[in-house]
Chain A
Amino acid sequence: MSETRRWVLVTDGGHGGSRDCVAAVRALHAGGYRSAVTVSPGTSPAAVSRYSRRRIPVPHVAQDGYVDALRAELERGSYLTVVCASEASLRALGEAGLHLTDKTKLNEAARATGIDIPVSRTFTSWREVLAESESFTYPLVVKPAVRTFSALRVDAPERLRALDLDDGEIVIQEWIEDGLHALSGVMWRGHLVAATAERWLRIWPTDCGLASAAVTVASDPVLEDKLERLLEDYEGVFCAQFAGTRLIDLNLRVHSSHSLSVAAGVNLVATHCDLLNDMPVPRMRARVGFFYRWLEGDLRHVVQASRSGAMSRASAVKALLPHRGAAHSSESLRDPGPLVSRLIYGAGRVRMPPEQRAQGRSETG
């Protein structure tokens, strides 16, 4: 009946069960696409969403042969595209627009298009950061220029010196208290075709984390224009994150809170696939007022905030009340595999010694 292609290869370069990967697979399924997911050896079958029709064994993204295996699979199957669900896989495949995943270059490009950025300093090594530790204003945020670890909040010089981070370009940014929000969308031929604006109500980890509760809001056309200029050479799904008016992060890939966009009527991944299929796609903006929850993250946020006194018990209970029609992260009764897999992993971690637990966190974070 048509010349459209339905198969999409999804890869996170790991076990294929990361929240971003699960979100991509579910969104593709909801949009009528079929996904094949790459899995590295030893992956639990339960970790991968049941909506993936094929599992393609490939080496881990950190190992040699990952890219070759991926390219071989793309040649073998009639795939419409490959969807990267992690920064590592994105970099391994050398996708377009990669320079914007480098914080230093992102800051320059953002400034050039009129987007506010936090006051930042870039250092070529961790040693250089330590040498300057007394000159910073605390609290501050430590980020790798190219994502190798998650951003960290540091409150004092002695805390900074206690950190043991890999060498590599490091960005030190001012700490911003303003509310967090994000704008996810699809760029196509210089235009922002589809967009979801969301306000983050809570995050996990509580200092520098990802949305654990969010709600869709009306999109700001001025911000949209600026992002259109910033991303004019990029085509695909992105998620730009802001603290107040300042851009703090940009992901050129599907994001873990993507289910919120789908619930609010804008399936970003499927829209990108539609565009690749040359389907007519109208300008779409997410409907406002849709709620998102990453259950694990939100529970941990509320428990921690309640214990620390940042949240009263009544507020904690209110925060955790179920929302009718809420979009969830990897938690789903219809697709319970990723949740069950995560629970098993969590139960295993409880028995781990603390050092091993910390190592496990960096692997999954």
Chain B
Amino acid sequence: MTDGRAPRGAVLSVVGPDGVGKSTLIDAVIAGSLDGHDIMRIRNVGLLPRRTLPQVPVTEPHKDPPYPPLLSLAKVAYVYADYLLGWWLRVRPFLRGGGWVILERGWWDMAVDPTRYRMKLPSRLLWRLGRLLPHPDLLLVLEAPAEVVLERKRELPLEELRRQSRVWRERLPASQPHVFIDASLPAEEVLVRAESEVRRMTGALPATRSSSPVNLPRSGDPRWVLPRNSSAMAAGALRVYHPVTPKGTLGWEIGRVAAGLGLFGLLPRGGAAPEAVRAAVADWTPPGGSIAVARANHPGRHVALIMASDGSARAIAKVASDEAGLGALEREAANIRELAPHLPPPLVGPRLLAARRGVLVLEAARWSPRPRPWHLPEDLARSLGVFFGGDGGSSELTGASHGDFAPWNLLKTGEGWVVLDWESAEPNGPAWHDLWHYIVQGHALLRRPSASAIKRGLEGQGWVGAALRAYAGGAGLSPRGASASLPAYLRASMGTLDPTTPDGRRGLEARRKLLLSGDD
């Protein structure tokens, strides 16, 4: 599931107060576990010129007075821009070649001890800015009791050493992988601990920096995990999301343009897709390919878009780990085999490529977003009616029903309209259910059609009226039955909604009001 390039290097940063043994440790690590690697050992990531100081040991790091606030701010801006520039133009190319960058101090050191850098700024600003910078892969924070450090180098007062030690513990963000090492231990033990952490970090790294995925949203449990091995793959990965609202469609289009331009490479590295999902789809992932994963609303369920190395979609996999999810996938597979083939054109069911316990693999459809997804064209409504009534039409009250025919489960493709999510389908569903479900779900969650448009539709007006007639025609039902079937659908579907979810609440409220609007 990687693009097969050489393993990349990493950025290792070592920090801690003077006298704690940073240089000694770096020398030992380079000579030890990193022996044979290309090493770039730096104190400053940047490229821009800096005032050079005589190369003498620092004995009083706080002796120079800090700059006034404005000048401090200007210095921070300069150093920040320089850090970014250096990271992209110097560090990244070196990492791509498999090299290791060893950084002594770095940005966090400035945030902990701004006085050393002659800054007179709130440290909160420096911490905030630091969070936006690319982070080292591992930060080794060497710490020791202040008395021990003081004994080694008498540079900073005891109180200041204690403060710094406390700040390192309290302020480092969770997004920066870090480990604290007791530097008061013998040097050999410190080295063993540091090398063990470096090995652990190396094992957890993706094969290439560019193959590390993007998590959206960045904080908390991400909804999407998107690969960015290449611009094409990043853009293709966004097809794991099917936008149905104008805002969603706009964001999706902007995201695709940004991904195509390679801008996803600027986003911070996120966590990998869940191991269970990766394992479930491994057999269908082509060499050099990757997967984009979307978390479903139910815990433990995911949708994975399987892509080739050029970013083209190969398949869609639905993965479930919970008992209810396993049952839902089994039902869906059975319904796709037995009921979906009866859909008349232009509606078609998805092509089932494979079904195993906990995973369902479907052929990926090449869909395009619809500007008005809540609108159900007449020919589709007729097909839905034919699906319900069977070939000869039906005078029965029950027939084939998809069960969850909603705007987001209908994809427009060049070859027809693909209907997804078959887990609720049944051969003996109630008449009108699919049609009302489509209209009411759109009304509840997309705010279209409006309640008055639905009411006008019951009087035969507008596209809702046309869809009702077309469905009735296809199913062999009387259009007059639509009016009586709506309250029955509303009441029945209210029992299936979960009031603890925002969508469930909106769905319930919309149905209540539609029921009540009948009293006008």
Contacts and interface: CB of A to CB of B under 8 A. Distances in A.
Nearest to B513: A32
Contact of A1 (B487, B497, B512): B487
A4 B518 contact: yes
A33 interface: yes
Given A2-B487, A31-B512, A274-B512, A282 B517 contact: no
A191 to B, nearest CB: 15
B226 to A, nearest CB: 31
A210 B313 CA distance: 61
Given A279-B494, A282-B494, A282-B508, A2 B515 contact: yes
A7 B500 CA distance: 28
Contact of A32 (B458, B499, B505, B517): B517
A280 interface: yes
Contact of B491 (A7, A280, A285): A280
Contact of B512 (A32, A265, A285): A32
Contact of B516 (A33, A265, A281, A282): A33
A188 to B, nearest CB: 15
B192 to A, nearest CB: 48
B495 A282 contact: yes
A229 interface: no
Nearest to A270: B512
B516 A280 contact: no
B495 A265 contact: no
Contact of B497 (A31, A33, A274, A282): A282
Q: How large is the interface on B (under 10, 10 to 19, 20 to 34, 35 or more residues)?
A: 20 to 34
Contacts of A274: 512
Contacts of A284: 499
Contacts of A283: 499
Interface in B225-248: none
Contacts of A300: none
A3 B518 CA distance: 8
Contact of A279 (B483, B498, B512, B520): B512
A223 to B, nearest CB: 20
B11 interface: no
B362 interface: no
Most buried by B among A31, A33, A282: A282
Contacts of B45: none
Interface string A285-298: 10000000000000
A283 B500 CA distance: 9
A5 interface: yes
A5 B455 CA distance: 17
Interface string B488-520: 000110110111100001001000110111111
B441 to A, nearest CB: 17
B486 interface: yes
Given A1-B483, A2-B487, A280 B495 contact: yes
Most buried by B among A3, A33, A279, A285: A279
A91 interface: no
A274 B483 CA distance: 21
B293 to A, nearest CB: 29
Nearest to B504: A282
B510 to A, nearest CB: 10
A281 B508 CA distance: 9
A357 interface: no
A33 B520 CA distance: 10
Contacts of B458: 1
Given A4-B519, A6-B516, A279 B491 contact: yes
Nearest to B454: A1
Given A1-B483, A6-B519, A282 B499 contact: yes
Most buried by A among B498, B508, B520: B508
Given A279-B491, A279-B494, A280-B494, A265 B505 contact: yes
Interface string A1-28: 1111111000000000000000000000
Nearest to B458: A1
A279 B515 contact: yes
B520 to A, nearest CB: 8
Interface string A69-98: 000000000000000000000000000000
A270 B491 CA distance: 16
B195 to A, nearest CB: 47
Given A265-B505, A274-B512, A1 B518 contact: yes
A265 B483 CA distance: 30
A3 B515 CA distance: 9
A31 B458 CA distance: 23
Nearest to A33: B516
Nearest to B482: A1
A2 B505 contact: no
A4 B495 contact: no
A283 B520 CA distance: 28
Nearest to A194: B499
Given A1-B518, A4-B516, A6-B516, 4 more contacts: A1-B458, A2-B518, A270-B512, A284-B499
Interface of A: 1-7, 31-33, 265, 270, 274, 277, 279-285
28 contacts: A1-B455, A1-B483, A1-B487, A1-B515, A1-B517, A2-B486, A2-B515, A2-B516, A2-B518, A4-B516, A5-B519, A6-B516, A6-B519, A31-B512, A32-B512, A32-B516, A265-B499, A265-B505, A274-B512, A279-B491, A280-B491, A280-B492, A280-B494, A282-B494, A282-B498, A282-B499, A282-B508, A283-B499
Interface of B: 455, 458, 483, 486-487, 491-492, 494-495, 497-500, 505, 508, 512-513, 515-520
Top-9 shortest CB links A-B: A1-B518, A2-B518, A6-B519, A32-B516, A2-B487, A280-B494, A32-B513, A280-B495, A282-B499
